[in-house]
Amino acid sequence: AQTVTQSQPEMSVQEAETVTLSCTYDTSESDYYLFWYKQPPSRQMILVIRQEAYKQQNATENRFSVNFQKAAKSFSLKISDSQLGDAAMYFCAYRTGTASKLTFGTGTRLQVTL
């Protein structure tokens, strides 16, 4: 069974600084996708970034980028120039290419301080 592990329950970063959230996963599949979702206090889950396992290049979306290490099964999220609006729960998630079921990690609560 596929599992997703987030070992950092909470992280804190100062405004304008950079923070990295960790995620590891376990799978025997070759065709899979990885995601980072953000869940602010309003509770609505928002997709931050996605990575296709077959792509070697790390995905980037504005201030958000990932470090995808396929052999190590590691998928970390880097947030640059952190903003107060980045404060939220961040979930790492996995799915295969054939089923839409998302398997989530336990989440990392990110605090952004002035």
Partner 1 sequence: KAGVTQTPRYLIKTRGQQVTLSCSPISGHRSVSWYQQTPGQGLQFLFEYFSETQRNKGNFPGRFSGRQFSNSRSEMNVSTLELGDSALYLCASSIGLAGSVDEQFFGPGTRLTVL
Residue 26: CB minimum distance to partner 1, A:
16
Positions in 32-71 near partner 1 (CB under 8 A): 33, 37, 42-47, 50, 52
Residue 6: CB minimum distance to partner 1, A:
10
- Residue 28 pairs in a beta bridge with none
* Whole-number Å distance between alpha carbons of 112 and 102: 27
What are the respective helix, strand and coil percentages of the chain, to the nearest 5?
5, 55, 45
Residues in contact with partner 1 by the rule CB under 8 A: 33, 37, 42-47, 50, 52, 91, 95, 97-107
